[in-house]
Amino acid sequence: MSDHIPVIHATVAGCRFVGRTTVGNRRGLLVPNTTTDLELQHLRNSLPDKVVVQRIEERLSALGNIIATNDHVALVHPDIDRETEDVIADVLGVEVFRQTVGGQALVGSYSKFTNQGGMVHPRTTQEDMEELSSLLQVPLLAGTVNRGSDVLGGGMVVNDWSAFVGLDTTSTEIGVVEKIFKLSGRGRQNQQSSIVTTMRSSLIDQLS
């Protein structure tokens, strides 16, 4: 992967599961208060200067589980501190909404969305999806990864150009991911990096 995009090796509070403890967009990256000074400086040195890296004082410290965001809107756990909500809005430059997804307060675990589209917990009602879609201003689908797992945040990393999913994800699930996040079509096939194309083909061949 490092041949195609910059890859930063990092830990947060000595742990390597950085996706569950951090959250960010093109403007900023939020890390929990357990992040050491050395780890914080390493992240700041590794990311572009325009990306603000901010340590945040929040008792719900698994930020990737309690916040879901793109470049415009953030959904957050209903019980986060008011100060945290203000920092999210300021650093990430987004509108912040306290929400649940499919009855789940861990919005970062049970939803993933980009500037192109989003996926939510499979038990999210049509009414809730329409409300969320209106807030986010992107189309939404209910879906799963890793052969039926509803913990989307634990099985998928996605941005406006590509997605990486767990090895157990089926070809049908991959098709839904590609559709809702607009990762294929619109002439984009020729623009996709060879690593994404190769990994997707390998997954489909392996699981079909």
* Predicted confidence (pLDDT) at residue 67 exceeds the cutoff of 80: yes
Prediction pTM value: 0.84
First-to-last C-alpha distance (Å) of the chain: 24
Do the Cβ atoms of 203 and 167 come closer than 8 Å? Answer: yes
Alpha-helix residue ranges (DSSP H) falling in 116-162: 126-136
Q: In the beta sheet, which residues pair with residue 142?
A: 120
Q: Give me 144's structure tokens.
A: 């799963």
Give the pLDDT mean for 42-54. Answer: 95
Q: What are phi and psi of 29, to 5 degrees?
A: -135, 125
Distance CA 79, CA 75 (A): 12
Candidates 157, 162, 174; CA nearest to 64 is 157
Return the pLDDT at 7.
Answer: 87
Give the pLDDT mean for 149-161. Answer: 93
